[in-house]
Amino acid sequence: MAMSSSQVVFTRHGVLRGAWASLPLWIGTVPFGLVVGVLAYAKGMSFAETGLFSATVFAGASQLLALDLWADPAPVLAAAVAAFVVNIRMAAMGAALASWLDRVEGWRLWGTLATLVDHSFALSVQDQRRGGRDAGYLLGVGIGLWTCWLLATLVGHVAGSVVRLPPGHPLFFASTAAFLSIMVGLWRGPRVDFGPWAVAGLVALAAHRAGLPPPLPLLLGTVSGAALGAWVELREPRA
């Protein structure tokens, strides 16, 4: 049964509970942040620039893509468009969490949206499915991960002068492993999720094998999987 928006609250306890729940995800976030920090140093960004980059963008995949595109002069427009494409999924996440977000406003709302990432979305959806009604939980998870991300990228920048990671180093797999781990909690069974997830992965893989430049494989996979998922949801009988 869907949660009534009138049942939703926002408490300090919820924020603290969310921050505490984010701690296990630091294991996968720290290596990812270190990689971004090392790459930022390699691209010539200063310590302050790296901190500002992570504090305001706070999007690992987008930051990696922007650093990959970084050149002199910096292709600001191309990097901004690529980051927009990668992060367009956040609009769907916000809509999925509307039962919480519609009940908060001011700094609570903007702080929650500014720190919304895949991990905080996944944990909050799981909390909702368990009957959770404290929207502060979402902000708490986001703040915990934002803190971890900022510290990890700064440490990575400091270590950049002495660390030289070869292509294919296991550290680069940390972000992928973290994403895979949170997908487990979102899995609702093959009847509902197998088709959309499989289509998204196959379309993205096909686009990559066809030589399409990033982030087009990600965008095509996301759109195709989301479209099939929406169709499946619409066909589901309502209680």
User: What are the DSSP calls for 144-211, one per residue?
Assistant: HHHHHHHHHHHHHHHHTTT--PPTT-GGGGHHHHHHHHHHHHH---IIIIIHHHHHHHHHHHHHHHTT
Q: Among 65-69, 108-112, 115-119, 121-125, where is mean pLDDT lowest?
A: 65-69
Q: What is the mean pLDDT of residues 103-107?
A: 90
Q: How far apart are CA 130 and CA 75, in angstroms?
A: 45
pLDDT band at 172 (very low <50, low <70, confident <90, very high): low
Q: How many CB atoms lie within 10 A of CB 24?
A: 11
The answer to whether the beta carbons of residues 142 and 116 sit under 8 Å apart is yes
The answer to whether the beta carbons of residues 43 and 70 sit under 8 Å apart is yes
Element (H, E) at 135: none
Smallest Cα–Cα separation from 19: which of 151, 178, 143? 143
Name the residue with tokens 């002069």. 73
pLDDT at 2: 47
* pLDDT one-digit tens code per residue, 11-35: 999 999 999 999 998 988 888 888 8
* pLDDT one-digit tens code per residue, 202-233: 998 999 899 887 667 877 887 888 788 778 77
The answer to whether the beta carbons of residues 65 and 215 sit under 8 Å apart is yes
Q: What angle do CA 147, 148, 154 make, to 5 degrees?
A: 95
